[in-house]
Amino acid sequence: MTAPSAPMTQDELKTLVGQAALQYVRPGEVVGVGTGSTVNKFIDALAGMKDQIAGAVSSSEASTQRLQALGITVLDANSVPSLGVYIDGADEIDGQGYMVKGGGAALTREKIVAALARQFVCIADASKLVAALGVFPLPVEVIPMAAGQITRRFADLGGHAQLRLKDGQPLVTDNGQHILDVHGLQITDPLAFESEVNQWPGVVTVGVFAHQKAQVCLLGTADGVRTLTY
């Protein structure tokens, strides 16, 4: 009798979905590339077909560095009118394809590149699937001088905003701004919530991706990759 195999680790599940995402990359096209540890697995897999694609539009300096190190051409977002597909991870995804993103502080550029794409394919391990958004602290990129008033507005909604730090100092995003992580929110209507918070003065981007939701989620589970479509 053979011993039962050990369950896959979270890292192995990320590798699985990163590789599975290759099926959405069409030869000859430019692909939109997100940010994070799951996307890093996708970038590593994409290197195997770098000669078949026209390049990538990247959502962060970190992804750009990884893409270029693997010999994948990175194009300016302004040089492409649209993308066939954008592939990115998420901190949370619900049953409608709405997501919370920004754990890697790249939410603004992620939303910009996602908005260029006809299809958003989310790659995530099963721990990211939630019944309702709001357990993961919500990242919000803000202009630093507005952080105080934005913090008070979130308090009015029952949320507690904390300035994200790196090495004891405020984290500075690729866009030169700060991140607030908001705890304790209940996001019952993601579309309305995103629209509302996005128009507060000083908010650069809120990490709810409802208007730019996923059309597909490749979810890494103990039974393999589950494909959810929305």
For the annotated catalytic residues, the residue numbers are: 110
Smallest separation (angstroms) from ligand 5RP to the CB of 53: 21
| Residue (161 or 214) nearer to ligand 5RP, CB | 214
To the nearest 10°, report the CA torsion of 75, 78, 80, 81.
170
Smallest separation (angstroms) from ligand 5RP to the CB of 16: 13
CB contact at 8 A, 199 and 181: no
Q: What are phi and psi of 183, to 5 degrees?
A: -95, 150
| Residue (28 or 176) nearer to ligand 5RP, CB | 176
Query: Of 40, 82, 87, 41, which is closest to residue 65 (Cα–Cα)?
Result: 40
CB contact at 8 A, 117 and 84: yes
Task: Specify the DSSP element, H or E, that contains 221.
Answer: strand 216-221
| Residue (124 or 152) nearer to ligand 5RP, CB | 124
Smallest separation (angstroms) from ligand 5RP to the CB of 189: 21
| Residue (106 or 216) nearer to ligand 5RP, CB | 106
CB contact at 8 A, 56 and 100: no
Cα angle 148, 153, 157; round to 5: 140
Task: Specify the DSSP element, H or E, that contains 107.
Answer: helix 107-116
CB contact at 8 A, 223 and 118: no
Query: Of 101, 81, 115, which is closest to residue 38 (Cα–Cα)?
Result: 101
Smallest separation (angstroms) from ligand 5RP to the CB of 58: 12
Smallest separation (angstroms) from ligand 5RP to the CB of 184: 19
| Residue (136 or 154) nearer to ligand 5RP, CB | 136
**First-residue to last-residue Cα distance in the chain:** 42
- What is the contact surface with ligand 5RP in residues (CB under 6 A)? 34-38, 88-91, 101-107, 110
CB contact at 8 A, 102 and 111: no
